[in-house]
Amino acid sequence: MYFSTDSKQIPKSKIPQGDLRDKWSNFKNQAKLISPNNRNKYHVIIVGTGLSGASAAASLAELGYNVSVFCFQDSPRRAHSVAAQGGVNAMKNYKNDGDSVHRMFYDTLKGGDFRAREANVFRLAECSASLIDQAVAQGVPFAREYSGYLSNRSFGGVQVSRTFYARGQTGQQLLLGTYQALMRQVKAKKITTYTRHEMLDLVLINGVAKGIIARNLDTGKITRHTANAVVLATGGFGKIYYLSTLAMGCNGSAIWRAHKKGAWMACPSWTQIHPTCLPQSGAYQSKLTLMSESLRNDGRIWVPLTRNDNRKPEDIPEEERDYYLEKKYPSYGNLAPRDIASRAAKERIDAGHGVGPLKNAVYLDFKDALANQGKATIAKKYGNLFDMYQKITGINAYNEPMKISPAAHFSMGGLWVDYELSTNIPGLFAIGEANFSDHGANRLGANSLLQACVDGYYILPQTLPHYLAQSGNPEAINKEDPAFIECEQQVTKQLEELGKINGSKTVDYFHRELGKILYDKCGLSRNEKGLIIAIEAIRNLKASFYNDLKIPSKINGINEELEKAGRVVDYLEIGELMCIDALSREESCGAHFRTEFQTNDGEAIRNDEEFKFISCWKKSDNVPLLIKEMLNFEFTKPTERSYK
């Protein structure tokens, strides 16, 4: 067996009492407070300066807590959130098209295939409106109508327009807003920033999180940092697939090291494969570029009806084109949710209808939109995306259809957290993409920026103080505590050992190999046989990594290969758990498509009877332990997810 199940342990989700609409207020009404003059006695470490980390840091500092933030980039402004393009969802009902908090809650829950907690998802929708107010007040230049009112568009998986956007650079603008709020608190001396610092381990004293060990990436110096609470806001680990839409440095190390110290990982195999990315064009590639999903508002997706059709797209007449999404899902058409759109593309590509030099893409065609709306309108909506497409591919998409392909994108899984965003380790919190929360088995477009911001601006600033207040007077934590010393020694030893292997392959070689295994066997579709092959292959790869890695051995000073090696060490272990997680879930739900569980026409078969739970993985000496958090659908009825 690859895992065992612990059915006695029941995760405490700490969902507040009351009706769905009252739960968050009930929590706030009962939360313990710390008086303003005592807050500066507490120190909080936040790892990550993306939307979640920076917003949490700024908000806690405004309240009066002392905060240290860490990021591996040279400036907090460069966290990966900066790359998000399409938009952020919020329930404002500005369009009067029937949107409501409940509808947003329901869309999100259904989008996630009923594999998320109702209470969390409702709170996400409930807090969403304030985020837009906050961002506008900070100067985020969201798109406006000529009248001066905010504008909206729609995204995959919903039938209303609730997505706010700032050209194709929504993540950048939101992040700059929160980065500026962060910098304002640096000026006020409430926040200390540690840029170019990588957290390498979590330190527990008597089972409670009390600090971290970090490496200064410029000097190689290993340092100890103490705190009354630690927050991980380290983003997603989709880069585990090597080719992904994520930034080069994205990693799962911080959450994985916390997992090894006892924090549960939840549903690690739920990875969103995004349907609208640029296809791979060669083996040298370091990443795949995402084209915002908003393009699906006006672009029509098709492939040639005949297999291996080598004609140019303009030479293929209408009746020989297969608009497969519009045909299969008439009510959502090209706006079908990401998992469905990605799978449908892969299915067509695998069946021999793929286009482009490597036959690995489908067309995203603006011909009709250009004819109906004119080039100026399309350029206004998506101009920068068309420019980007041309820069990368050398092709002008106003003249011929774009070629797109699915790519690994977003981690729905992550550290398990309760309603208060606390992990099962007291004093350790996880926010944003680093936790598993709110998206279920599939994330709807534009909900992630929202979750990152809402976690950081509104939820953590209420729940973390509640924890601090409960844990009594702030105690001074000693950097010389044996727990810190021992942890530092272990971290140093590991780095030295990596440097000593002196084999014959680079870190990137191992990362690429791992990516291929995962993409092939634990990607868009999975099955038992493939997953078992993958687990064995990853174990072999891990063994050869420790024999055959070659990196420059100096651990002082700047050493990017050493940084990457540390991340790949963790990826090899996370990859194995991803496959085990996928193996244990004998159903298809959202991004998790087990080929054994599908209908005759290829739709997912979910199994609520047996799998209506969040998988929480606990590290143990032998095989990983599966602990189930059962999901209770008190206010909704899980239905079959149909977008037809």
Ligand X SMILES: Cc1cc2nc3c(=O)[nH]c(=O)nc-3n(C[C@H](O)[C@H](O)[C@H](O)COP(=O)(O)OP(=O)(O)OC[C@H]3O[C@@H](n4cnc5c(N)ncnc54)[C@H](O)[C@@H]3O)c2cc1C
Q: Looking at residue 44, what DSSP letter applies?
A: E
> Is residue 16 within 8 Å of residue 26, measured between CB atoms?
yes
> Is residue 240 within 8 Å of residue 437, measured between CB atoms?
no
Angle (CA) 247-52-279 rounded to 5° is 25
558 binds, among other proteins, ligand X, none (CB under 5 to 8 A by kind): other proteins
User: Per rule CB under 6 A, is residue 428 in the interface with ligand X?
Assistant: no
The binding track of 250-289 with respect to other proteins, each residue x by CB under 8 A or -, is: -------------------------------xx-xxxx-x
Site for ligand X in 88-107 (CB under 6 A): 88
User: Per rule CB under 8 A, is residue 183 in the interface with other proteins?
Assistant: yes
Q: Name the residue number minimizing CB distance to ligand X.
A: 50
> Is residue 64 within 8 Å of residue 40, measured between CB atoms?
yes
Applying CB under 6 A, among 48, 354, 406, 499 the residue interacting with ligand X is: 48
User: Per rule CB under 6 A, is residue 53 in the interface with ligand X?
Assistant: yes
C-alpha 390/C-alpha 21 separation (Å) is 47
User: Per rule CB under 8 A, is residue 137 in the interface with other proteins?
Assistant: yes
Least distance in angstroms from the C-beta of 552 to other proteins? 5
- Of the pair 58, 495, the CB lying nearest other proteins is at 58
User: Per rule CB under 6 A, is residue 290 in the interface with ligand X?
Assistant: yes
70 binds, among other proteins, ligand X, none (CB under 5 to 8 A by kind): ligand X
Element (H, E) at 321: strand 321-322
Cα 189 to Cα 58, 149, 182, 534: the distances in Å are 11, 36, 11, 49
- Catalytic option among 77, 224, 338, 641: 338
Site for ligand X in 438-497 (CB under 6 A): 446-450, 452
Instruction: Output the six-digit token pair for 275.
Output: 């349907």
Applying CB under 8 A, among 93, 154, 163, 195 the residue interacting with other proteins is: 195
Applying CB under 6 A, among 81, 226, 424, 442 the residue interacting with ligand X is: 81
User: How long a stretch of residues is the chain?
Assistant: 644
User: Per rule CB under 8 A, is residue 561 in the interface with other proteins?
Assistant: yes
User: Per rule CB under 8 A, is residue 506 in the interface with other proteins?
Assistant: yes
Site for ligand X in 174-233 (CB under 6 A): 198-199, 233
> Is residue 84 within 8 Å of residue 445, measured between CB atoms?
no
Chain position carrying tokens 């969902």: 15
Instruction: Please identify, among the stretches 164-172, 571-579, 594-602, 606-614, the one whose residues bind other proteins according to the rule CB under 8 A.
Output: 164-172
251 binds, among ligand X, other proteins, none (CB under 5 to 8 A by kind): ligand X
Task: Mention every residue, 6+ apart, whose C-beta is less than 8 A from residue 314.
Answer: 400
User: Per rule CB under 8 A, is residue 394 in the interface with other proteins?
Assistant: yes
User: Per rule CB under 8 A, is residue 138 in the interface with other proteins?
Assistant: yes
User: Per rule CB under 8 A, is residue 36 in the interface with other proteins?
Assistant: no
Least distance in angstroms from the C-beta of 323 to other proteins? 29
User: Per rule CB under 6 A, is residue 72 in the interface with ligand X?
Assistant: yes
Applying CB under 6 A, among 9, 38, 73, 216 the residue interacting with ligand X is: 73
C-alpha 30/C-alpha 138 separation (Å) is 30
The binding track of 61-100 with respect to other proteins, each residue x by CB under 8 A or -, is: -x----------xxxxxx-x-xx--------x-x------
User: Per rule CB under 8 A, is residue 552 in the interface with other proteins?
Assistant: yes
Among residues 408, 360, 406, the alpha carbon closest in space to that of 246 is found at: 408
Least distance in angstroms from the C-beta of 456 to ligand X? 7
User: Per rule CB under 8 A, is residue 105 in the interface with other proteins?
Assistant: no
User: Per rule CB under 6 A, is residue 235 in the interface with ligand X?
Assistant: yes
C-alpha 197/C-alpha 332 separation (Å) is 45
User: Per rule CB under 6 A, is residue 433 in the interface with ligand X?
Assistant: yes
Largest CA distance in the chain: 74
Cα 410 versus chain centre, distance = 4
Least distance in angstroms from the C-beta of 403 to other proteins? 13
Instruction: Please identify, among the stretches 428-436, 463-471, 555-563, 570-578, the one whose residues bind ligand X according to the rule CB under 6 A.
Output: 428-436
616: which strand partners?
A: 266, 627
Task: Mention every residue, 6+ apart, whose C-beta is less than 8 A from residue 54.
Answer: 69, 76, 79, 175, 178, 179, 181, 182, 456
- Of the pair 143, 625, the CB lying nearest other proteins is at 143
What's the one-letter identity of residue 537? A
> Is residue 86 within 8 Å of residue 165, measured between CB atoms?
yes
User: Per rule CB under 8 A, is residue 181 in the interface with other proteins?
Assistant: yes
Beta strands in 195-315 (DSSP E): 197-205, 208-216, 222-226, 229-232, 265-266, 271-277, 300-304
Catalytic-residue membership of 526:
no
Q: How many other C-beta atoms can be found within 10 angstroms of the C-beta atom of residue 401?
A: 21
User: Which strands sit side by side in the sheet containing 191-194, from one edge to the other?
Assistant: 191-194, 66-70, 43-47, 229-232, 428-430
Instruction: Please identify, among the stretches 14-22, 426-434, 503-511, 606-614, the one whose residues bind ligand X according to the rule CB under 6 A.
Output: 426-434
Decide: helix, strand or coil at residue 74.
Answer: coil
Judging by beta carbons within 10 Å of its beta carbon (0-12, 13-18, 19+), is residue 315 exposed, middle or buried?
A: exposed
What's the one-letter identity of residue 363? Y
Applying CB under 8 A, among 457, 484, 571, 593 the residue interacting with other proteins is: 457
Applying CB under 8 A, among 69, 166, 229, 364 the residue interacting with other proteins is: 166
449 binds, among other proteins, ligand X, none (CB under 5 to 8 A by kind): ligand X
Least distance in angstroms from the C-beta of 77 to other proteins? 6
Q: Looking at residue 120, what DSSP letter applies?
A: H
Residue numbers at the binding site for ligand X (CB under 6 A):
47-53, 70-73, 79-81, 83-88, 170-171, 198-199, 233-236, 245-246, 251, 253-254, 290, 410, 432-434, 446-450, 452
Catalytic sites, residue numbers: 338
